[in-house]
Amino acid sequence: MLQATGIYKSYGTLPILKGVDLHVNTGEIVSIVGASGAGKSTLLHIVGTLDRPDKGTVTINGTDIGTLSSKQLSAFRNEHIGFVFQFHHLLPEFTALENVCIPAFIKKVGRKEAEQRAEALLDLLGVAHRMDHKPAELSGGEQQRVAVARALVNNPDIVLADEPSGNLDSENASALHRLFVELRDRLNQTFVVVTHNEELAATADRIVHIKDGVIELNAE
């Protein structure tokens, strides 16, 4: 469902990605590992339409995202891609429920329907009892689960996660990893997860190693 082909990206004169190919199937969890500075976040931003490659194409469920205008890209991103970051980026002045609803509101889903979806997801993720609380009143693991619910609220084709457990203790990190696997099993949700956490990488269906600007083959 995701095909990134021949991706090149440089910052100034510094080449970061030098012909990366990444193909992901529906219902697959792929983890991306590699040294700090290897270009993992850069690649995730490119496949997530947050950044454009210098060369190469990204196709998500048949749409070549390189052909979209920036306005079309924002709408495409909101509808098809869910993001989970290392720091959850929840909005502090809104409750957990409201935070989860926001991408649905942007998609012009009605309030009632958005809230129903958000509540169902918070329930699935085991934090429904905290939905009226603001992020500062939630634990790190709870905040991260709210962020996962927010990533899922528009039923995205793919969830992209950049060090989602980097900010969690080992217990919460394992819980988050189990959650990804459960969402894959229950919803056939597709994930691409950048991680330094070897335990999380090991729970993925496939591990992709980035080194020297390319995907290393036969690295496993």
Instruction: List residues near Mg ion by CB under 5 A.
Output: 41
Which residues ranging from 13 to 42 are in contact with ligand ATP (CB under 6 A)? Answer: 16, 34, 36-42
Q: Which does 138 bind (CB under 5 to 8 A by kind): ligand ATP, Mg ion, none?
A: none
The binder of ligand ATP chosen from 11, 110, 123, 170 (CB under 6 A): 11
Q: Which is nearer to ligand ATP, 11 or 111 (CB)?
A: 11
Total number of residues binding ligand ATP (CB under 6 A)? Answer: 10
53 is an interface residue for ligand ATP by CB under 6 A? no
Whose Cβ is closer to Mg ion: residue 35's or residue 91's? 35
Q: How far is the CB of 69 from ligand ATP (least distance, A)?
A: 22
Rounded Cα distance between 92 and 81, Å, is 23
Write the DSSP assignment of the chain as a string of letters: -EEEEEEEEEETTEEEEEEEEEEE-TT-EEEEE--TTSSHHHHHHHHTTSS--SEEEEEETTEEGGGS-HHHHHHHHHHHEEEE-SS----TTS-HHHHHHHHHHHTT--HHHHHHHHHHHHHHTT-GGGTTS-GGGS-HHHHHHHHHHHHHTT--SEEEEESTTTTS-HHHHHHHHHHHHHHHHHH--EEEEE-S-HHHHHHSSEEEEEETTEEETT--
Closest residue to Mg ion in the complex (CB): 41
Residue 38 near which of Mg ion, ligand ATP, none (CB within 5-8 Å, type-dependent): ligand ATP
Closest contact distance (angstroms) between CB of 36 and ligand ATP is: 3
CA–CA dist 35, 162 (Å, integer): 14
Q: 4 touches which of ligand ATP, Mg ion, none (CB within 5 to 8 A by kind)? A: none
Residue 39 binds: one of ligand ATP, Mg ion, none (C-beta under 5 to 8 A by kind): ligand ATP
Name the residue nearer to ligand ATP (CB basis): 15 or 140.
Answer: 15
User: Which of the choices Mg ion, ligand ATP, none does residue 135 contact, using the CB cut-off of 5 to 8 A by kind?
Assistant: none
- On whether the CB atoms of residues 133 and 96 are closer than 8 A, the answer is yes
Positions in the binding site for ligand ATP (CB under 6 A):
11, 16, 34, 36-42
